[in-house]
Structure 1
């Protein structure tokens, strides 16, 4: 028997044994689950969950009249104001428009009307567009049945043209199937950076 055949016959024995040893260490080193161990929640969080109704990881999806997709997800949702409004926390909203443009809106919290046609997002609102525009504001009001997003308070934006500040903002379409427009209002200031375009 030549050297190659001997090595192959030895590996046929040792490799399965090595695999068996490695597999047994997985079971020997794994932690035991104690059925009496406490649930990993803070007492305050348990009290909040018991005290009121809430939904964990809610997801809403819909389509505007023009056919743009709207998807909203959150960490949790709570009913409020006589159940006509849902209060949601750690919100992510994505709008996929028919022309391929995408808007991603993130915020700390939001209020969604039960009718499903309006939303108010507030607390560290960030808007990211597919053409590399990033907008930050404290509050936006959005229609969910058409593309109409308004930021009534000061906005800061950074994009291919440079840095921009304005007193308010509106994202909308002029016609039902028209392209999206982003319009800044009230004391608009742009610091133009031609280097951004070249990069």
Structure 2
């Protein structure tokens, strides 16, 4: 009787054990890859110290010496370490005038010294005045707070007065006084 019971139990258990063993052998690679996917590794990483601050579409706003607002914007700005000056790509500046007019400046690159309110522009510098006057020069330096600008590179100007080329320029009193330096050539258009 004992033997019959053992044979009956073995008939049922041995095939189940064989199926379980075959399933384990067939699925073993899946168990291994699942274990690898579930592992988390921590590595010691050296502490990274940034060497420059990079800003996309910065906007700097302030007031000049006559409490007139100005805004300096750019496509990007990079400030190296502890330096106060910011390197700008595609800088633009808007300045309001006392009489309600405005001046708009743009260039390919520039350097903005925020504490000194100085903006140095380079690369196709264009200065637009709301009266229709436009200056184009390779380089220009601006004292934003004081409202002065200058450049020692060739300049071309056009406006209601006509056209003018010169070796340099000086703008005083927020563009109210313009002095062209070096050799200058003007074609003036008179009122009819």
TM-score under structure 2 normalisation? 0.68
What pairs up with 1:39-50 in 2 under 5 angstroms?
none
CA distance in 1 between counterparts of 2:104 and 2:76 reads 19
Q: Deviations over 1:27-66 (max 9, x none)?
A: xxxxxxxxxxxxxxxxxxxxxxx98530010001111111
User: Aligned Cα RMSD in Å?
Assistant: 2.2
Match of 1:123 in 2: 123
1:192 equivalent in alignment to 2:188: yes
Match of 1:166 in 2: 166
How many matched pairs?
143
The answer on whether the counterparts of 1:64 and 1:147 sit within 8 Å (CA) in structure 2 is yes
Match of 1:155 in 2: 155
- Unpaired segments ≥5 residues, structure 1: 1-49
The structure having more radius of gyration, on CA atoms, is: 2
- Unpaired segments ≥5 residues, structure 2: 1-49
The answer on whether the counterparts of 1:67 and 1:97 sit within 8 Å (CA) in structure 2 is no
Match of 2:111 in 1: 111
1:102 equivalent in alignment to 2:98: no
- Are the structure 2 counterparts of residues 150 and 57 from structure 1 closer, same or farther at C-alpha, using a change threshold of 3 Å? same
CA distance in 1 between counterparts of 2:62 and 2:51 reads 31
CA distance in 1 between counterparts of 2:175 and 2:139 reads 24
